[in-house]
Chains A and B, each alone.
Chain A
Amino acid sequence: MGKEVEMRDAEAPGKDKEGKGQEGGAGKKGEEPAAPPPPPKPLAVLRANAALIEKAVAQKETRTLFGRVLRHTAAVRRRLTAADLVAFLEGALPAGSPALQQLVPAVKQAGESAMEDGDAANGSAAEEAPSQPPPLPSSLPEVEIYAYLLALMFLIDRKQYEQAQAVAGSAVERLSGLNRRTLDVLGARIYSYLSLAHERLGSLASIRSSLLGLHRTAVLRHDELGAETLLNLLLRSYLAENLYDQAERLRAKAQRPEASRSMQQQCRYLYYLGRIRAVQLEYSEAKDCLQQAARKAPTSAVGFRVAVQKWLVLVRLLLGEVPDRTEFTAPDWAQQLAPYFDVTQAVRSGDLSSFARVAAEHDAQFRADRTHNLIVRLRHSVIRAGLRRISLAYSRISLADVAAKLGLPSVRDTESIVAKAIRDGGIEGVLDHEAGVLQAARPADIYATDEPQAAFHARIAFCMDVHNEAVKAMRYGEGGGAVQEFEDATALREKQEQELAAALEEDDDF
């Protein structure tokens, strides 16, 4: 078995490249065709975005246009330089506004402290810009908040977390004075960067009460996206300190919209909920949540999916299921999941000593992942798995042999452990105390019971559920009454296809 694993590992790098190549082709459409036509200048993109925002505000159409703005921004994010950003800020914000006065020095400073190699080229870009007349400064708060957002992204990319904290703080202050639904999308992003800046500096606990305040305001203003984002940020901040109790209390009391506004936020929520449930020993609910999170997460969010997968593996082991080998061998995470793969092997074989060895070997990793306590709980599953193997293999075995096979210290313990396993239905059999043997009952014919019917029913119910959910999602999608407007069936279908395409693209910039 060990050899096989090694071979797979050796294969992995080759596969890895292939996989990445494919993924790059499929996942990042926006950046791929960059080679033939020169990529648009970041400054031009930003200006176009500002124009888009103005259009969106004028049309009161927030969803698709803002989605496009954020997508374009994500595409130029890596190439953005201080000079570009300053030029944009000076062009877009009215001269002398407090935002301009704060942002420009911050960006300049960050740009200087992280001197880039391609500065000469960037300089020329900035010089070139004035040749085309810059658009008139805009007084729209949306543009101002967008400027804040850009500066924040820039600072965080350059690891200037203190600056980012200050900028995010004033952006949030500005936001709290405004009550415009067109700001929701940008505001939610600002909140997450605020939290990120604090998390990187380890001061997450200090903004908890202000996040709670913001969440309350967002709920009162029916800012659904903001409320959802803030709830997730709060859960994240509680879970960062293992405060599962507080997290659960907040989660149980906070209002959530029925249909989530954003797939990303929903995934995060499911992940946090899954973790809370796992700690509370509600394994089947935890499994449902984590599995959904894993399925809904976009393929490009590798880090998130690895984190989900780690918890999912443990929860399934605790439920007595053994995850499939293929789940560990995906090239993206084979290496990161290796400790969990070892644990799975140990649990499957039901050997306490090898389990103890694996647990000790990867102890540091498990502590870093905060899964250490779940690993401790797994001991019980190891014993159960071992017992089940024994009871299937032997029709009559002495308890001393059982103890030796499982690696348990004393026969007396073994007897009561086996007795409990029989009571809980883990194994079938009868103990004979005087002779000190376990007499395994012949495994009952499972097809003579209701079990297959129940399993079949569960699957049918799942399919029905998927169908119903799909129907619901189609009929009551975004825009509520849109169905009546499109009498023409083809127009309706086109609209739906567009929405689907937009939704798929949105997933990419998770």
Chain B
Amino acid sequence: MADLSAASAGLAQLQGAFGKGDLTACKQLLSRLKLELTKLPALPPVYEQSANAQQQLVLARQALELAVYLSVKQGDEAAFERNYAQLRVYYADARALLPPSDQEASLTALNLLRLLVQNRIAEFHTELEVVPQQVLASPEVGQVVELEQWLMEGAYNKVLDARARAANEYWHHFLDQLSSTVRDEVASCSERAYASLTLADAQALLMLGSQAEAEAYAKQHGWEVSNGRITFKPAADKEGGAGGAPLPSLEIISHCLNYAREVERIV
């Protein structure tokens, strides 16, 4: 049976510092606590059976959950990924050994959101397959799944609105990143879909604060601005290009040579 006093004291300290929002202290306390955790034998991958094995697991899970939140607060995504990878074991393999955590849904959602924001869509979906049914039904995870759908469809204004309805403060860090990506997406769509737009409309579409900002954004993308209208050039280029595309002669030649060689081999 392992002695839990040092680790639980460390966790209490960490929780205290986290509550006060003292990030630097948190960081130090966390690394000390993680060292403490390595001494507990009931944690994965050993899973040693003992009377307080469950307590040990719960304690470690709480510590890691805090660690994940902390990394969001610090804006450290690498640390987030690392901590979450450690935490995942408690939600998957060790699931049967300890009571469910009330943080699970919101942390799972946060991790999914991170993958979405980092544009790791394939991982997002593999991760989604592993999420258990009851967690999938939670509102937080539901929101992330919706967000992914909107992104796929192109309902960008909803994505930008999502920040106002964010499940909790931790989302803001990721959603802020997302909105700049989405703005660029909207810009590239508008470029192709519209011939021209008034500055006011462009400002609304791109969700920018003022017309001046919209004008600056347009300049940045090389769009022509005159009399309060943006005229998109690439659209015109596209039409001109479709008519007079040169024959891909080199490609055709290489195909034909290839056919000739293959047919020769057959005959």
Binds A, one of B25-33, B102-110, B123-131, B173-181: B123-131
Chain B nearest CB: distance from A487 CB in Å? 24
Q: Could you tell me if A379 and B153 are in contact, using CB atoms closer than 8 angstroms? A: yes
Asked if A380 lies at the interface with its beta carbon under 8 angstroms from chain B, I say yes
Q: Could you tell me if B255 and A431 are in contact, using CB atoms closer than 8 angstroms? A: no
A417 touching B129 in the complex, CB below 8 Å, given contacts A376-B145, A431-B193: no
Chain A nearest CB: distance from B266 CB in Å? 6
Q: Could you tell me if B122 and A282 are in contact, using CB atoms closer than 8 angstroms? A: yes
A439 to B104, CA, bound (A): 48
Q: Which residues of B contact A420 (CB under 8 A)?
A: 153-154, 156, 185, 189
| B156 to chain A: closest residue by CB | A416
A433 touching B201 in the complex, CB below 8 Å, given contacts A376-B145, A423-B188: yes
Q: Could you tell me if A280 and B122 are in contact, using CB atoms closer than 8 angstroms? A: yes
Partner of A244, one of B129, B158, B192: B129
Q: Could you tell me if A422 and B125 are in contact, using CB atoms closer than 8 angstroms? A: no
| Range of interface residues on A (Cβ < 8 Å) | 35 or more
Asked if A503 lies at the interface with its beta carbon under 8 angstroms from chain B, I say no
Q: Could you tell me if A417 and B259 are in contact, using CB atoms closer than 8 angstroms? A: no
Q: Which residues of A contact B145 (CB under 8 A)?
A: 376
Q: Could you tell me if B153 and A380 are in contact, using CB atoms closer than 8 angstroms? A: yes
Asked if B257 lies at the interface with its beta carbon under 8 angstroms from chain A, I say no
Asked if A444 lies at the interface with its beta carbon under 8 angstroms from chain B, I say yes
Q: Could you tell me if A421 and B149 are in contact, using CB atoms closer than 8 angstroms? A: no
Asked if B252 lies at the interface with its beta carbon under 8 angstroms from chain A, I say yes
Q: Could you tell me if A373 and B193 are in contact, using CB atoms closer than 8 angstroms? A: no
Q: Could you tell me if A279 and B157 are in contact, using CB atoms closer than 8 angstroms? A: no
A430 touching B195 in the complex, CB below 8 Å, given contacts A416-B189, A419-B154: yes
A279 touching B153 in the complex, CB below 8 Å, given contacts A422-B189, A423-B192: no
0/1 interface trace, chain B 84-99, chain A, CB 8 Å (1 if under): 0000000000000000
Partner of B125, one of A241, A280, A416, A460: A280
Q: Which residues of A contact B126 (CB under 8 A)?
A: 244-245, 248, 279-280
Asked if A113 lies at the interface with its beta carbon under 8 angstroms from chain B, I say no
Q: Could you tell me if B153 and A417 are in contact, using CB atoms closer than 8 angstroms? A: yes
Interface residues of A in 225-248 (CB under 8 A from B): 241-245, 248
Asked if A52 lies at the interface with its beta carbon under 8 angstroms from chain B, I say no
| A414 to chain B: closest residue by CB | B155
Q: Could you tell me if A279 and B129 are in contact, using CB atoms closer than 8 angstroms? A: yes
Q: Could you tell me if B194 and A421 are in contact, using CB atoms closer than 8 angstroms? A: no
Q: Could you tell me if B193 and A419 are in contact, using CB atoms closer than 8 angstroms? A: yes
Q: Which residues of B contact A377 (CB under 8 A)?
A: 152
Q: Which residues of B contact A376 (CB under 8 A)?
A: 145, 149
Q: Could you tell me if B198 and A423 are in contact, using CB atoms closer than 8 angstroms? A: no
| B93 to chain A: closest residue by CB | A205
| A426 to chain B: closest residue by CB | B154
Q: Could you tell me if A464 and B189 are in contact, using CB atoms closer than 8 angstroms? A: no
Chain B nearest CB: distance from A49 CB in Å? 43
A413 touching B157 in the complex, CB below 8 Å, given contacts A373-B129, A457-B255: yes
Q: Which residues of A contact B129 (CB under 8 A)?
A: 242, 244, 279, 373
Interface residues of A in 84-125 (CB under 8 A from B): none
0/1 interface trace, chain A 436-471, chain B, CB 8 Å (1 if under): 000000001000001001000100100010010000
27 pairs across A/B with beta carbons < 8 Å?
A245-B123, A279-B125, A279-B129, A281-B121, A282-B122, A376-B145, A379-B149, A383-B153, A413-B158, A416-B156, A416-B186, A417-B154, A418-B193, A419-B154, A419-B194, A420-B154, A422-B189, A422-B192, A422-B193, A423-B188, A429-B193, A430-B193, A433-B194, A434-B198, A450-B248, A457-B255, A464-B259
Q: Which residues of B contact A (CB under 8 A)?
A: 121-123, 125-130, 145, 149, 152-158, 185-186, 188-195, 197-198, 201, 205, 235, 242, 248, 252, 255, 259, 262, 266
The 6 A-B pairs with the shortest beta carbon distances in the complex, nearest first, are A420-B154, A419-B193, A280-B122, A419-B189, A242-B129, A422-B193
Known: A245-B130, A433-B197. 4 other contacts (CB 8 A): A380-B149, A423-B193, A430-B195, A453-B252
